[in-house]
Amino acid sequence: IGTFFQERPLLTNSFTQDALLQAYLQRHLPEQVQQDLLLFGERLVSEIEALGRQCELTPPVLQRYDAWGRRVDRILTCDAWTRLKHISAQEGLVAAGYERTYGEWSRVYQMSKIYLFAPSAGLYTCPLAMTDGAAKVIESLGVPVREEFKRLTTRDEKRFWTSGQWMTERRGGSDVSSGTETVARRQQDGWFKLYGFKWFTSATDADVTLTLARITDQHGRSTAGSSGLSLFLAKVWDSDGSCNGIEVQRLKDKLGTRQVPTAELLLDGMSAQLLSEEGRGVASIANMLTITRIHNTVCAVGTMRRITHLCREYARKRAAFGKLLKDHALHVQTLSRLEVETRAAFLFAMEVCRLLGREENRSASDRDTLLLRLLTPVAKLYTAKQAVSVVSEGLESFGGQGYIEDTGLPSMLRDAQVLSIWEGTTNVLSLDVLRSIAKSSGSVLQAFFTDVTERLQVAEASAALHPAVTSLHTSLSALKRFAQTAAARPTGALEQSA
């Protein structure tokens, strides 16, 4: 009695385990990238996985007062969180996107590392996504904040800074344009003081942040709606560790993402620098949204790959009804479905990264640019939903053990659930797709149809793919009918017909 202990599923080098990633990179990038990812895969198993787990088990806390009763509002994170920041810099997890060593394939290289990092990294991917987004905004606006840009994109762990993205207020997380109440008062030196309340701010231990506020005139009046919003850059902490005109009201008690501090902040005279033109805040932060939504996509796929890998590994070790799970046809069918979802999502995510890389390398055709605009929200909303369902099914394939905390599996489901909420909910992103159609007078759809038709022509050459191609042609015809009405109508009308 009691002599049997189930062998656990073992996590091994996730790069060497991932034939699709290897084949994809081999086609497009030099051998040194494979070497880099091979070593990174080893580091994930030997070091990063344990740090991520420590972040889950040691969530951040808010220290409101010091021993002598002074208000300090310090967010205390564990050592593993700090270590992950250093590793992120060393591995160039943001930097690689800006060094552009591999030309138009640089984003694919960077995002391949993020994809491997995500399921081990204790959600350190959250600050990295926002840091990348902030760097992108600074680069695309061409504003003279060189020191900040260098710090956000450095590989030097001592100089590396992360950024927050404070958009959501109590009235508006989706409807930021009418919900933002924060005001910005101009100072004599040209800087601003911000007053307001930010309802969700993740990775609040960041060094700097981008945020939105309404500039007031000398009578304290400001413009409502999106044309009243401007974009600001601010340091979160002063050099002595005190807050920059901020009170941390509390840390959120969340379903998942417990590794990440997410705070409610009262801005009470936060000193900030105007980044965008006045009234162009939403359009300017859209560049950040593109980057963070692509990170969200890549992390969703990384999580899907991890759970699928673990399920496959477990099926080789767990027996039921006299044989291993891997020898039960029905179980294999379940795992095959997870595998197919994961592979398709991977290729979709990498295609979006490829388009981003081409745009940044100035080698994008007009069609590439239109596709990037259209596919970014589609990829984010679709892979977020996929991740929840794949991880949920994945947990079931461990039976009861999938429900047990110290296997580390349940946190994967909790953390997946946020992917469809932050960075734009599914419906809001669906409306963003319609916005992109309306704003381009349908050109994004034209680009999509041309692209898919060309891909189908290639696929038609293969007899094995013929049934799939026929069914795709049918779906494409239905989409084209929708597109014909969509191109001519404003977004509101599109929403009715969607």
Contact set with ligand FAD (CB under 6 A): 165-168, 172-175, 200-202, 254, 257, 262, 418, 421-422, 424-425, 427-428, 431
Count Cβ neighbours within 10 Å for each residue of 280-293 and write b for 16 or more, e otherwise: bbbebbebbbbbbb
Could you say whether residue 292 binds ligand MFK (CB under 6 A)?
yes
Question: Tokens at residue 142, please?
Answer: 């061409």
Could you say whether residue 295 binds ligand MFK (CB under 6 A)?
yes
Q: Name the binder of 117 from ligand FAD, ligand MFK, none, CB < 5-8 A by kind.
A: none
State the nearest-atom distance from the C-beta of 431 to ligand MFK, in Å: 7
Rg (CA), the chain: 24
CA distance 47 to 68: 38
State the nearest-atom distance from the C-beta of 284 to ligand MFK, in Å: 8
Contacts of 169 (CB under 8 A, 6+ apart): 176, 179, 180, 181, 182, 196, 197, 198, 199
State the nearest-atom distance from the C-beta of 295 to ligand MFK, in Å: 4
Could you say whether residue 439 binds ligand MFK (CB under 6 A)?
yes
- Which CB sits closer to ligand MFK, 184 or 282? 282
Of these, 16, 54, 154, 174, which contacts ligand MFK (CB under 6 A)?
174
C-alpha triplet 412, 413, 417: angle, nearest 5°: 115
Could you say whether residue 283 binds ligand MFK (CB under 6 A)?
yes
CA distance 202 to 199: 10
CA distance 94 to 154: 8
Of these, 338, 424, 437, 443, which contacts ligand MFK (CB under 6 A)?
424
DSSP for 72-85, written as a single string? EEEEE--HHHHHHH
- Which CB sits closer to ligand FAD, 173 or 408? 173
State the nearest-atom distance from the C-beta of 300 to ligand MFK, in Å: 8
CA distance 415 to 308: 16
Of these, 121, 206, 234, 289, which contacts ligand MFK (CB under 6 A)?
289
Question: Tokens at residue 473, please?
Answer: 């042609």
State the nearest-atom distance from the C-beta of 332 to ligand MFK, in Å: 31
CA distance 411 to 430: 28
CA distance 336 to 350: 21
State the nearest-atom distance from the C-beta of 344 to ligand MFK, in Å: 20
- Which CB sits closer to ligand FAD, 165 or 308? 165
Chain-centroid distance of CA 230 in Å reads 23
State the nearest-atom distance from the C-beta of 176 to ligand MFK, in Å: 4
Question: Computed from CA positions of residues 447, 450, 452, 454, in that sequence, does the dihedral angle turn out positive or negative?
Answer: negative
Query: β-strands 319-320, 323-324: how paired?
Result: antiparallel
Of these, 18, 56, 169, 432, which contacts ligand MFK (CB under 6 A)?
432
Could you say whether residue 130 binds ligand MFK (CB under 6 A)?
yes
State the nearest-atom distance from the C-beta of 464 to ligand FAD, in Å: 40
State the nearest-atom distance from the C-beta of 376 to ligand MFK, in Å: 7
Stretch that binds ligand MFK, among 320-328, 354-362, 402-410, 424-432 (CB under 6 A): 424-432
Of these, 108, 138, 282, 311, which contacts ligand MFK (CB under 6 A)?
282
Of these, 16, 90, 216, 226, which contacts ligand MFK (CB under 6 A)?
226
Of these, 113, 214, 380, 435, which contacts ligand MFK (CB under 6 A)?
435
DSSP for 384-402, written as a single string? HHHHHHHHHHHHHTTGGGG
Question: Position of tokens 């800074």?
Answer: 161
Could you say whether residue 423 binds ligand MFK (CB under 6 A)?
yes
Structure-derived torsion over alpha carbons of residues 214, 217, 219, 221, reported in degrees to the nearest 10: -30
Site residues for ligand MFK, 15-54, by CB under 6 A, read none
Could you say whether residue 286 binds ligand MFK (CB under 6 A)?
yes
C-alpha triplet 221, 226, 231: angle, nearest 5°: 80
Q: Name the binder of 254 from ligand MFK, ligand FAD, none, CB < 5-8 A by kind.
A: ligand FAD
Could you say whether residue 177 binds ligand MFK (CB under 6 A)?
yes
State the nearest-atom distance from the C-beta of 451 to ligand MFK, in Å: 19
State the nearest-atom distance from the C-beta of 296 to ligand FAD, in Å: 11
Coil/strand/helix, residue 274:
strand
DSSP for 345-360, written as a single string? HHHHHHHHHHHHHHHH
- Which CB sits closer to ligand FAD, 62 or 459? 62
Could you say whether residue 152 binds ligand MFK (CB under 6 A)?
no
* Cα 19 to Cα 14, 222, 343, 368, 407, distances in angstroms: 10, 55, 10, 27, 26
Question: Tokens at residue 154, please?
Answer: 């450095």
Instruction: Give contact residues for ligand MFK (rule: CB under 6 A).
Output: 125-126, 129-130, 165, 167-168, 174, 176-177, 202, 226, 282-283, 286, 289-290, 292, 295-296, 299, 422-424, 428, 432, 435, 439
